[in-house]
Chains A and B, each alone.
Chain A
Amino acid sequence: MSNIIQDKRAEYRAMFRSNVKHRLLVDKIMMVAIFVCVVTAITPLLWILGTLFYGGAEALSWEFLTKEPGAVGGGIPPAIGPAIQGTLIIIGLSSIIGIPIGVLSGIYLAEFGGSWFSKQIRFFTDVFMEFPSIVLGVFAFLTIVLILGHFSVWAGAFALSLIMFPIVARATEEALKMVPWNIREAGTALGLRKWIVTLRIVLPAAKNGIITGILLSVSRVGGETAPLIMTILGSSQFFSGFDSPMDALPLRIWRFSLQPYDEARLAGWGAALVLVITILAIHIGVRYWFMRRKKSTDMSSRLRKVGI
């Protein structure tokens, strides 16, 4: 009796196995395949970081970071002092233009949204965020460089602010939406005006999300090269006024890459190392400082959803 049951069991097991074997095999293969996908994507990142550290660390020195490039051919890599200074200046200027517009526009979308008009604005902000950056550079060239008649820091800052403000606007909107409505109602119940409620109560409550958006937009803008080509042009001297050309780190890296000298290449690696370390530090810092607090996953997924 028990023998028959065992036979049946073995038979069923064999049937089950022959039925499922193929499917399990396919499953295994696919699971390995998706892991390979991840490895394939991460390899270039690690490869790039490895190359940067390996090739760029050699170039780094106090002189390299602070001096003017000077002539090529002296055996030492041309320095990137003006480029670092220029990048800081242009990030500062574009923040001054872009952040207030972005934050206000985010306030509009979150606090006065809901109408047909605000839906159009949200839509165009989303689409604008994906505009090719070089077209923004061309636009800044047409509106500022052509009218003023010379390449200027302002034009570059304007072009970069165009990249910045939609990011800040959408991040602000998402952050404001996470602030519970009772807080606003409590403020209104105290007899506060709406703008005071918004600026003094809601905005501070959404501070972390907004700062996250601002920092991410800064890191995006810091690496932009294309719009700077036709706006600040590049220069090998330190900052000399807002109406003249200026250097920037990504622009300088591009120029280095066009020069056929070993020193230029070395300097390119060094400059890229400085740039990438700074940007990655911002990204990782943002993640572990602001996003790890409560509602952390919420904010990060919200930001990702709007494409930041």
Chain B
Amino acid sequence: MLKREFGKSRGRGPLSDKIFKIAATIAGAYVLVVVLLMAVQLGWESGPIWHEEGLGFIWGTDWNAVEGRESYGAFPYIIGTLVTAAIAMVIGVPLSIGIAMFVLTAPKRVGEPLGYLVELIAAVPSVVFGLWGLFVFRIYFKDLIEQPLHDAFGDSIFLFSGTPFGLDVLSASIILAIMIIPTISAVSRDVMLAVPQQQKEAAYMLGSTTWEMFRLAVFPYSKAGLIGASILGLGRAVGETMAVTMMIGNTTGLAAIPESLFDPSQTMPSIIANEFIEASPVSLHVPALLGVALVLLLVSMAINVVAHFLVIRMLKIKEGAINN
């Protein structure tokens, strides 16, 4: 009762309180203003490209900034983004869920520090991942994994047909996978922690092994949350810029649509990072890049909204369970 009264002193109360409340509300509303302004401005400034190319900008494959022959299409970069993010998910999600399971099952003395080390991966800046990938990881990866795969399956499976160079879709995706692991594993750990203890104990009581306990009690219960955690990771993967820019090979136009795992490509963030500064402000180049940014913003926003609802719903259940 008192708690509710305290928050709502509307209409009454001294002037200073009103000013304080208004200031806090303005600070809170700042985020809405920024999001709105961002969407409007990206839409407005990228206007020329939509005017010129129409919706064809989204599935166009040209990318020609030469004056007089200008033609832009974002399709290869959308594909590049989705492909790298998808491969990163395929590698990263099972690893992350495994890590979350380990942290939950291992004795505290082992699980906590190892879990913390995994969290620390998130603290390493993207550009350092890129540097390491460019100068160290790429060389070992090319010699030890890509070349043998290419030699063995290059002729039979199209995925391995490109000439391994190290700067390609697969190596960029692997760096991406490493970078999204901390996000996914931290959220899935929380989501799995939210499974009521009784469920786990019931599974154990039926004679389950630890793995069967996870399969019977934890996974079905936390499915939505785990999917949400993965989608949150997908959101990070889609927006990741520097490491991918340094690893993916940066081709443009039709060549950026990868035909195999060993082909260089380009993602939406990476083309912005690569070309934004060099783009001539009077040509259509800048609006085209802004159009790519707008598409990226919408994609990432959609992904995060979905993830948000899945994760929040799962964690709400937990809070409800504790309060009862």
**A contact residues vs B (CB 8 Å cutoff):** 23-24, 26-27, 30-31, 33-38, 40-42, 44-45, 47-48, 51-52, 100-102, 104-105, 107-109, 111-114, 118, 120-121, 123-128, 130-136, 138-139, 141-143, 162, 165-166, 169, 181, 184-185, 188, 193-195, 198, 219, 222-226, 229-230, 233, 250, 253-254, 256-257, 265, 268-269, 272, 275-276, 279-280, 283-284, 287, 301, 304-305, 307
Assess the B117–A276 pair: CB atoms within 8 A.
no
Contact (A253, B127) CB under 8 Å given A142-B41, A226-B269: yes
**CA A142 to CA B291, docked complex, whole Å:** 13
**CA A112 to CA B20, docked complex, whole Å:** 11
B190 / chain A contacts, CB cutoff of 8 Å: 301, 304-305
**CA A287 to CA B119, docked complex, whole Å:** 12
Contact flags (1/0) for B155-184 with A, using CB distance below 8 Å?
A: 000000000000000000000001001010
Chain A's closest residue to B130 (CB) is A257
**CA A289 to CA B105, docked complex, whole Å:** 27
Q: Confirm or deny: B116 has a beta carbon within 8 angstroms of a beta carbon on chain A.
A: yes
Q: List 6 A-B contacts (CB under 8 A).
A: A40-B95, A130-B239, A143-B41, A194-B6, A195-B20, A219-B123
Partner of A193, one of B17, B106, B209: B17
Assess the B123–A51 pair: CB atoms within 8 A.
no
Assess the A226–B308 pair: CB atoms within 8 A.
no
Assess the B125–A224 pair: CB atoms within 8 A.
yes
Number of A-B residue pairs having CB atoms within 8 Å of each other in the complex: 275
**CA A100 to CA B28, docked complex, whole Å:** 11
Assess the A42–B118 pair: CB atoms within 8 A.
yes
Q: Confirm or deny: B273 has a beta carbon within 8 angstroms of a beta carbon on chain A.
A: yes
Contact flags (1/0) for B217-241 with A, using CB distance below 8 Å?
A: 0000000000000001001101111
**CA A33 to CA B116, docked complex, whole Å:** 19
Assess the B32–A120 pair: CB atoms within 8 A.
yes
Assess the B308–A108 pair: CB atoms within 8 A.
no
**CA A174 to CA B246, docked complex, whole Å:** 37
Assess the A105–B31 pair: CB atoms within 8 A.
yes
Within 16-65 of B, Cβ neighbours of A (below 8 Å) are at: 16-17, 19-21, 23-32, 34-35, 37-38, 41-42, 45
Q: Confirm or deny: B257 has a beta carbon within 8 angstroms of a beta carbon on chain A.
A: no
Contact flags (1/0) for B119-136 with A, using CB distance below 8 Å?
A: 011011111111110111
Assess the B276–A257 pair: CB atoms within 8 A.
no
Contact (A198, B20) CB under 8 Å given A30-B211, A127-B304: yes
Assess the A37–B301 pair: CB atoms within 8 A.
no
Assess the A47–B132 pair: CB atoms within 8 A.
yes
Assess the B95–A107 pair: CB atoms within 8 A.
no
Q: Confirm or deny: B205 has a beta carbon within 8 angstroms of a beta carbon on chain A.
A: no
Assess the B126–A111 pair: CB atoms within 8 A.
no
**B contact residues vs A (CB 8 Å cutoff):** 2-3, 6-7, 9, 13-14, 16-17, 19-21, 23-32, 34-35, 37-38, 41-42, 45, 94-96, 98-99, 101-103, 105-106, 114, 116-118, 120-121, 123-132, 134-137, 178, 181, 183, 185-187, 190, 209-212, 232, 235-236, 238-242, 246, 269, 272-273, 276-277, 289-290, 293, 296-297, 300-301, 304-305, 308, 315
**CA A188 to CA B34, docked complex, whole Å:** 35
Contact (A134, B98) CB under 8 Å given A23-B212, A194-B13, A272-B131: no
Partner of A121, one of B29, B137, B209, B212: B29
Contact (A135, B293) CB under 8 Å given A226-B273, A301-B190: yes
Assess the A34–B130 pair: CB atoms within 8 A.
no
B94 / chain A contacts, CB cutoff of 8 Å: 37
Assess the B120–A38 pair: CB atoms within 8 A.
no
Chain B's closest residue to A42 (CB) is B117
Assess the B124–A185 pair: CB atoms within 8 A.
no
Assess the A307–B28 pair: CB atoms within 8 A.
no
Least distance between B18 CB and chain A CB atoms (Å): 9
Chain A's closest residue to B34 (CB) is A162
Contact (A132, B239) CB under 8 Å given A27-B210, A124-B31: yes
**CA A11 to CA B118, docked complex, whole Å:** 47
**CA A142 to CA B16, docked complex, whole Å:** 37
